[in-house]
Amino acid sequence: MRTRSKGRSCAGKRRYEGEPSADKAIRELVAAKRVTPGSMHSYQCRFCDGWHIGHTRHGGRRPQ
Ligand SMILES: [Zn+2]
């Protein structure tokens, strides 16, 4: 079976075991100043059932 990316899969993305792992990865990125706080979020993947991190949509902070 080929693993060619068709754009809608998560191929090539880093996968995390669960939400805590993904959130921890985000915190590390923030701590390393790779991303700004609030600009990334974790989400469960519908393709691989793992967790990924991605950029939040509305360009920055959300009230919480
Ligand atoms: Zn995935």
60 located within any domain: no
Amino acid, res. 15: R
Q: Is residue 11 part of a domain?
A: no
Measured in Å, residue 3 CA sits from the centre of ligand 1 at 13
CA distance 5 to 28: 28
* Residues 11, 64: Cα–Cα separation, whole Å: 31
62 lies in a domain?
no
- Is the pLDDT confidence value at 6 over 60? no
Residue 63 backbone dihedrals phi, psi, to 5 degrees: -65, 130
pLDDT of residue 9: 85
What domain range includes position 46? Answer: 19-55
Number of domains in the chain: 1
- For 14-32, write each residue's pLDDT tens digit: 999 999 999 999 999 999 9
* Contact (Cβ atoms closer than 8 angstroms) between residue 30 and residue 23: no
16 C-alpha to ligand 1 centroid (Å): 9
Q: Residue 40 phi/psi, 5° resolution?
A: -125, 155
- How far, in Å, is the centroid of ligand 1 from the Cα of 32? 24
